[in-house]
Amino acid sequence: MIQRILFPVDFSGACVAIAGYVRRAAAVLGASVTLVHVFDLAGNNGYEIYARPPSEVAEEHRVIAQEKLDSFLASEFPLAECPRILLSGDAAVQIAREAKTGGFDLIIMPTHAGRFRRMLLGSTTAKVLNDSDCPVLTTEHAETMAPRPLEHREWLCAVGLDGNAEKMLRFATQSAAAARARLSLIHAIRANRSDLDAAATEEARQRIEKIQKAAGCDAPLQIAVDPNIEHALVEAVGRSDADVLIIGRGPRDGPYGRMRDLTYLLVRDSPFPVLSF
């Protein structure tokens, strides 16, 4: 399923930190990697515009950006094997557009650590998650990443009961099979009284089993119950020993777009990479 990976780079330490992870993902999935960098074509200082024509300044910036892109991570991603794409404009818009028009199957990008990660809303990563039609794999705190050995392949899928559940389960099942990973499922439900836990859990289990059957998925299912559904899911995910958490994004239409509060929460707080579909 995943044959072409798009790796957006901004020459930051976070991109350097996840280079090994991107290579690992490509090796596991048997996919190729293309690097893309988006620069600001109109970026300049006042002196440059005063001294030279804007078109000349823009061309110089483009040449410099291309040279930097060609040399960036050249040992990890040789030019002969990994193409480089240079674009200009809004980074998130261009990345999402290139993923679609270029026929890429997966985008891998860091969320960065520290304050940037805590303020994920409004970031380029968040915009790509909202705008991109293809799956997006975001990493945990990139500066401290230590990818596990290839032999360790445990994937966890957070499944809901919405209209996208069957499609997402089919994607998770096929992707895990391609990576030769063991897939398990987690579902969280809200219950305020203990006497409702058993009934709510059984109802959810029966509904998810029907979705699994339709999607051709036989992965084991865990159901977490808590008055706060966000807390239940994040706690369950935190106790997991998975390499990847697979989650669904909402439809693009609507006032909030694809990214809901829970999606942001999981992307931000997951202790391991999140593959959002």
pLDDT digits (tens, 9 = 90+) for 33-79: 999 999 876 655 555 555 666 677 778 888 999 999 999 999 999 99
Contact partners, residue 106, CB within 8 Å, separation at least 6: 2, 4, 5, 6, 25, 29, 31, 134, 135, 136, 137
- For residue 149, being part of any structural domain is answered with no
Q: How close are the terminal C-alpha atoms of the chain, in Å? A: 13
If asked whether residues 129 and 169 sit together in one domain, one would say: no
Between 140 and 222, the higher pLDDT residue: 222
Q: Which amino acid is at 169?
A: L
Q: What is the residue range of 185's domain?
A: 154-276
If asked whether residues 204 and 168 sit together in one domain, one would say: yes
Predicted confidence at residue 116, as pLDDT, reads: 43
What are the tens digits of pLDDT across the range 149-204? 555 688 999 998 888 899 999 999 999 998 889 999 999 887 765 555 788 888 89
What are the tens digits of pLDDT across the range 129-138? 888 989 999 8
Contacts of residues 265-271 at CB distance under 8 Å and 24 or more positions apart, as own/partner, are 265/230, 265/234, 266/158, 266/233, 266/234, 266/237, 267/111, 267/120, 267/125, 267/129, 267/138, 268/111, 268/117, 268/118, 268/120, 269/234, 270/140, 270/237, 270/245, 271/140, 271/237, 271/238
Q: Which residue has the tokens 């650590």?
A: 113
- For residue 248, being part of any structural domain is answered with yes
- The model's pTM: 0.87
Q: Is the dihedral of CA 112, 114, 115, 118 positive or negative?
A: positive
> Of 113, 144, 175, which residue is a domain's last?
144
> Could you tell me the two tokens for 146?
């230590």
If asked whether residues 10 and 98 sit together in one domain, one would say: yes
If asked whether residues 160 and 122 sit together in one domain, one would say: no
Which whole number is the average pLDDT over 19-40?
92
If asked whether residues 184 and 71 sit together in one domain, one would say: no
Rounded Cα gap, residues 124 and 93, in angstroms? 9
If asked whether residues 188 and 137 sit together in one domain, one would say: no
Strands 136-138 and 274-276 come out as antiparallel
> Of 94, 117, 144, which residue is a domain's last?
144
Between 173 and 141, the higher pLDDT residue: 173
Predicted confidence at residue 178, as pLDDT, reads: 87
Q: Phi/psi of residue 231, each to 5°? A: -65, -40
Predicted confidence at residue 142, as pLDDT, reads: 45
Strands 4-8 and 32-39 come out as parallel
What one-character-per-residue DSSP string does 119-185 give? T-TTSHHHHHHHH-SS-EEE-S-GGG--PPPTT--EEEEE--SSTTHHHHHHHHHHHHHHTT-EEEE
Domain count, the chain: 2
If asked whether residues 110 and 183 sit together in one domain, one would say: no
Which whole number is the average pLDDT over 207-211?
96
Please calculate the CA angle 231-133-73 and round it to the nearest 5 degrees. Answer: 90
> Of 124, 144, 164, which residue is a domain's last?
144
Helix spans in the chain (H): 13-29, 46-51, 54-71, 91-101, 114-118, 124-131, 165-178, 194-215, 229-239, 261-269
If asked whether residues 126 and 215 sit together in one domain, one would say: no
When pLDDT is cut at 50, 70 and 90, the band that residue 121 belongs to is very low
If asked whether residues 130 and 192 sit together in one domain, one would say: no
If asked whether residues 128 and 59 sit together in one domain, one would say: yes
Which whole number is the average pLDDT over 236-240?
79
CATH of the domain at 94: 3.40.50.620
Q: Is the pLDDT of residue 274 over 50?
A: yes
Between 264 and 160, the higher pLDDT residue: 160
**Average pLDDT in the chain:** 82
Q: Which amino acid is at 46?
A: G
- For residue 89, being part of any structural domain is answered with yes
Between 164 and 257, the higher pLDDT residue: 164
Rounded Cα gap, residues 26 and 179, in angstroms? 10
Which whole number is the average pLDDT over 112-116?
50
Contact partners, residue 68, CB within 8 Å, separation at least 6: 11, 37
If asked whether residues 19 and 140 sit together in one domain, one would say: yes
- For residue 203, being part of any structural domain is answered with yes
